[in-house]
Amino acid sequence: MVPGRPTDARVDRDTAYVLLCPGCYCELFAITERGRGPPVGLRKTGTITAAASVLFLGLVACSTPEGSAKDAKSSVTIGVSYEPETLSPLLGYGKDGNSKIFDGLLQRNQQMKLEPALATDLPEVSDDGLTYTFKLREGVSFSDGAPFTAADVVFTYDTITDAKTNNAYAGELDAIEDVQASGSHKVVFTLKYPYAPFVERAVLPIASAKAAGGQDPNTGPYNTEPIGTGPYTLSSWRKGEKLTLKANPGYWGGKPEITDVTIAFIPDDDVRATRLRAGELDGAALPPSVAEPFRKLDGLTVLNAESVDYRSVSLPTGDPVTGDKAIRQALNLAVDRDLMVESILKGAGRPAYSALPDDSPWFLASAKPVHDAAKAAQILDEAGWKPGADGVRVKDGRRASFTLWYFSGDKLRQDHALAYASDAKKIGIEAKVQAGTREVVQPLLGKDAMLAGGGAGFDPDFDLYPALHSELGGDGWNNMPHYSDATVDQALEIGRESGDGTERHVAYDTVQERFADDPGYTFLTFIDHVYVMSDTYADLTTQVEPHDHGLAGGPWWNLQDWRLPK
């Protein structure tokens, strides 16, 4: 047990579970769920009475589990909501940096400024913006002892951009014409066009040509047995449960003082909070509403990280309801984004009007939707969507009704989905909220709406192109609604390929104007990422975070630089 952390024991009805204390596995406290299987770390009891009977016995009997004292806190256990599909940078792992196992040519500091990592400095860029030259750090080795050289950089970028490699983010490297080694410690990138944000992609982790070569990058063992130059090495990966890392003793930046790291994969927000209260975790990412009670507890600290991570609803073009322009326009006006920030995020976030934050220099203020339910209703009336007997609008015999999915156990998405459905109902549109796993939801993206998340930041190309370009419709989690607009496609291509700042601004203004007229998503909020950490670890910091913030983000973004308490 951890002093100062309440057990928050609660016995409900139908199905009872008992939380097992890690290490000693004594019964710590009972919780119940209805209609779901037991969360990680829970054992089903025979009856509710049985669960209740062990509740106080568990509290009395439980002592600090063996090993949880953590020798001088040199090990840390963190709870995150989702598990990576791969640990290979060739398939997209760690693409935004902070991958723990790997390094990029560059890295971002706390202020998100680029600085050298495996490169010795920022690149030399030719006057025409087509050539980037990186000088590489010497004396660096991969964790298996193989020396790091320019050949590893060439191998990494060549493999990612190979059409046979299933990297969903490879389009961000479309500008690369060629990458060549110039000796063993210099790499030269030649671009097809002056791609403005190219240097931001130099944070991509560098894979080992020796360890990853000679195998299928999509299915080979490197996906689960990675070899990198980073501060940590993979110790074990128990799929669906946890990933453990060990400090790399040969790390070029010096062996980290935090020597053992466990990343526990706990999709359910409430279960993650429960395990944190129980002392099973040293830190966790939590939704703002779930994290709020922890602010009052001794021994813990709550940190907010500003993010460009948005929540939105995808509106499939092929569905006769969500594909109707009037429906899309009405929903864009009906949602009360300010109320969502206040009620769901507890102020830890801001409204989202597009994939770009409204403080971005690329944001077009004139395309910003204003909350106006009356105008939304007028749009529907004029488009022939008339109120039906049950309050749901009807047009040509079709009800204004669609299914809206969110990921099971994700309270933040659930709350957004329910709030969205409530706002839609006020204007006569029925959004039927449904929970499902990623495996269930993904095949339905072209048919049903999805409470989606995304956001990379750094450059509008990273957010707008994958979300809106028609060629990416149905490509994994890209362009989920199968949005298609020839003018938008053309503008996105100009924005990606032009080296002229003014021309790029005009292109992205066009994208936002067209999108405002026919929004394929309803953007809702940008969420702050909220973390609860043991206050044993002092002077923790956060960065401005993208959507991907599991292993890479949080106060543990620079875990290798943490210092043990004296």
pLDDT tens-digit series, residues 478-510:
999 999 999 999 999 999 999 899 999 999 999
Q: Please state the rounded mean pLDDT for residues 189-213.
A: 96
* Predicted pLDDT at 34: 31
Greatest extent of the chain over all pairs of C-alpha atoms, in Å? 76
b/e map 486-502, b = 16+ CB within 10 Å? eebbebbebbbbbeeee
pLDDT band at 29 (very low <50, low <70, confident <90, very high): very low
Is pLDDT at 68 greater than 70 in this prediction?
no
Q: How far apart are CA 269 and CA 309, in angstroms?
A: 17
Instruction: Say which residue, 74 or 55, is predicted with more confidence.
Output: 74
Per-residue model confidence as pLDDT tens digits over 30-52: 333 333 333 333 333 333 333 33
**Alpha-carbon gap, residue 465 to 468, rounded angstroms:** 6
3-class DSSP state of 446 = coil
Of the CA atoms within 13 Å of residue 17, those in its CB half-sphere come to: 18
Place of tokens 């969903």: 168
Report whether pLDDT(60) > 70. Answer: no
CA distance 461 to 92: 17
Tell the residue number behind the tokens 């000796």, with chain if given.
183
More confident residue, 341 or 3: 341
Q: Residue 132: what pLDDT?
A: 98
pLDDT for 61: 33
* Confidence class for position 67, pLDDT limits 50, 70, 90: very low
pLDDT tens digits, residue range 98-115?
999 999 999 999 999 999
Helix axes 486-497, 501-517, angle to 10 degrees: 160
Decide if pLDDT at 205 tops 50: yes
pLDDT of residue 385: 98
pLDDT more than 70, % of the chain: 87
Rama region for 490: left / alpha / beta (φ>0; ψ in -120 to 50; rest)? alpha
Q: What average pLDDT does range 320-340 have in this prediction? A: 98
What digits encode the pLDDT tens for the residues 291-310?
999 999 999 999 999 999 99
364-421 pLDDT tens trace: 999 999 999 999 999 999 999 999 999 999 999 999 999 999 999 899 999 999 999 9
Long-range contacts of 82-88 (CB under 8 A, 24+ apart): 82/265, 82/267, 82/550, 83/239, 83/240, 83/243, 83/265, 83/550, 84/550, 84/551, 86/223, 86/224, 87/223, 87/224, 87/226, 87/234, 87/237, 88/207, 88/212, 88/217, 88/222, 88/223, 88/226
Q: Report in angstroms the alpha-carbon separations of 390 from 386, 399, 405.
A: 11, 10, 23
Give backbone dihedrals phi and psi of 87, rounded to 5 degrees, phi first. Answer: -115, 20
- Does the predicted TM-score (pTM) go above 0.85? no
| Mean pLDDT computed over every residue of the chain | 87
Q: What is the mean pLDDT of residues 263-278?
A: 95
pLDDT confidence of residue 71: 54
Work out whether the CA dihedral 406, 410, 413, 415 comes out positive or negative.
Answer: positive
User: Over pLDDT 90: what percentage of the chain?
Assistant: 80
**How confident is the model over 530-551, as pLDDT tens digits?**
999 999 888 899 999 988 777 8
Out of 72-81, 187-196, 383-392, which region has the weakest mean confidence (pLDDT)? Answer: 72-81
Q: Give the model's pLDDT for residue 554.
A: 92
Report the range of poorest mean pLDDT among 48-57, 183-192, 196-205, 498-507: 48-57
Per-residue pLDDT, averaged over 154-163, amounts to 98
Helix (H) or strand (E) holding 20: strand 15-20
* Top-confidence residue, 179 or 39: 179
Q: Who's near 259: CB < 8 A, 6+ residues apart?
A: 74, 75, 246, 247
Instruction: Identify the band that residue 466 occupies on the pLDDT scale cut at 50, 70 and 90.
Output: very high
Token pair in block for residue 361: 């220099």
Question: What is the distance between the alpha carbons of residues 36 and 169, in angstroms, rounded to a whole number?
Answer: 34
- pLDDT bracket for residue 169 (50, 70, 90): confident
Structure tokens belonging to residue 561: 């630089």
Task: Set out the domains of the chain in order of their start, with CATH numbers.
Answer: 1-69 (no CATH), 70-82+231-303+530-566 (3.40.190.10), 89-225 (3.90.76.10), 310-527 (3.10.105.10)
